[in-house]
């Protein structure tokens, strides 16, 4: 599995990936350029060059690669040293070294079974599935009674979820994650999220997760909370643009699906008409 601290182009091999130089510019400028790419693709669709549009936008390759590139770029060693000049970095620290195991044991998940999950209810249910919320329940006895925030990690799926609200856990593969003092939970969340897709196949992922090396900023011998928060702010700002472009792509996907359905209907109607004329 490839980890961080390589250039973006080394990891991605070029294409639509953002080059390291993007890190020295304003995020609005960078993401505006990708907005322009989306607009060009929409024009191609209007000009009936739908295949190009479908392959790049409907599959989400361009947009998802953009988001992954931003994550990799912000956690890149060269960028961190340049952006946060004077900050000490512990780049060989494993996630296992920042986990608070006492708190993990104290607030173990008391899960409900999958067949107990409802379509509606008072409390959201969190499992290791792809959806952020996987259903609802009214079972107050199973309500999580630990501290917030925390991260929920899927041992089978490598899905990671940041949680700061009341919920009911579901699934034996769901792991709770608490960290030592002065560790920003969203900082670790984004780092773990970046790793998804690098790990293939069905396997237990918690052991792999704990071995990941995460760059931790330090000041006066302690994790630097201000620098972590500044990096989180950069990523959350970029995430807003990512979501906006994702929504735009999904909207156009629905349009193309409806248009394709109409074309197929016309084809079948024409075929029936010709058949009846024989």
110: tokens are 């008391």
Alpha carbon 225 to its chain centroid, in Å, reads 22
Interior angle at CA 114, CA 110 and CA 115, nearest 5: 120
What is d(CA 173, CA 175) in angstroms, rounded to the nearest whole number? 6
Residue range(s) of every CATH 3.90.220.20 domain in the chain:
92-214
Q: If we measure between CA atoms, which residue out of 115, 168, 108, 119 comes closest to residue 139? A: 168
Q: How much is the pTM?
A: 0.72
Q: Are 223 and 90 in contact (CB under 8 A)?
A: no
Class of the CATH-defined domain 92-214:
alpha beta
Tokens of 199: 């790990």
Residues 142-168 pLDDT 10s: 999 999 999 999 999 999 999 999 999
Number of H helices, E strands in the chain: 9, 9
Strands (E), 59-165: 88-90, 123-126, 136-137, 150-154, 160-163
CA angle 64, 249, 27 (to 5 degrees): 55
- Locate 90 and state its tokens: 């512990």
Mind listing the pLDDT tens digit for each residue in 96-136?
999 999 999 999 999 999 999 999 999 999 999 999 999 99
Give every CB contact of residue 140 below 8 A, 6+ residues apart in sequence: 122, 123
pLDDT of residue 204: 81
Structure tokens at 27: 């995020």
pLDDT at residue number 72: 86
Q: Return the half-sphere exposure (C-beta side, CA atoms, 13 A cut-off) of residue 273.
A: 6
Asked whether the beta carbons of 197 and 68 are under 8 A apart, the reply is: yes
In the predicted model, is pLDDT for residue 80 greater than 80? yes
Is the Cβ–Cβ distance between 218 and 98 less than 8 Å? no
CB 246 within 8 A of CB 65: no
* Average pLDDT in the chain: 77
Residue-level pLDDT at 111: 96
pLDDT tens string 192-244: 999 886 655 556 899 999 999 999 999 988 999 999 999 999 888 888 877 87
Residues 6+ apart with CB under 8 A from 25: none
- The H-or-E segment that residue 223 falls in is strand 222-223
Greater pLDDT, 38 or 167:
167
């Amino acid at each position: 599995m490839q980890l961080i601290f390589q250039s973006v182009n080394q990891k991605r091999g070029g294409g639509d990936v953002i080059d390291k130089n993007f890190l020295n510019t304003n995020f609005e400028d960078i993401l505006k350029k990708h907005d322009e790419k989306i607009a060009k693709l929409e024009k191609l669709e209007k000009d009936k060059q739908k295949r190009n549009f479908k392959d790049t936008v409907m599959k989400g390759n361009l947009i998802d690669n953009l988001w992954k590139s931003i994550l990799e770029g912000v956690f890149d060693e060269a960028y961190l040293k340049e952006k946060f000049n004077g900050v000490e970095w512990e780049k060989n620290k494993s996630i296992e070294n920042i986990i608070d195991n006492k708190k993990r044991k104290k607030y173990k998940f008391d899960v409900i079974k999958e067949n107990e999950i409802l379509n509606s209810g008072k409390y959201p249910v969190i499992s290791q599935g792809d959806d952020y919320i996987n259903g609802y329940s009214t079972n107050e006895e199973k309500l999580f009674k630990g501290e917030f925030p925390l991260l929920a990690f899927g041992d089978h799926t490598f899905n990671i979820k940041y949680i700061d609200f009341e919920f009911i856990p579901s699934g034996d593969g769901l792991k709770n994650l608490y960290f030592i003092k002065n560790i920003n939970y969203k900082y670790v969340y984004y780092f773990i999220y970046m790793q998804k897709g690098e790990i293939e196949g069905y396997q237990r992922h918690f052991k792999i997760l704990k071995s990941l090396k995460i760059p931790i900023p330090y000041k006066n011998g302690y994790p630097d909370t201000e620098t972590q928060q500044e990096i989180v702010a950069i990523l959350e700002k970029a995430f807003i643009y990512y979501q906006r472009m994702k929504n735009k792509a999904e909207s156009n996907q629905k349009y193309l699906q409806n248009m394709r359905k109409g074309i197929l209907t016309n084809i079948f109607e024409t075929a029936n008409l010709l058949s009846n004329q024989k």
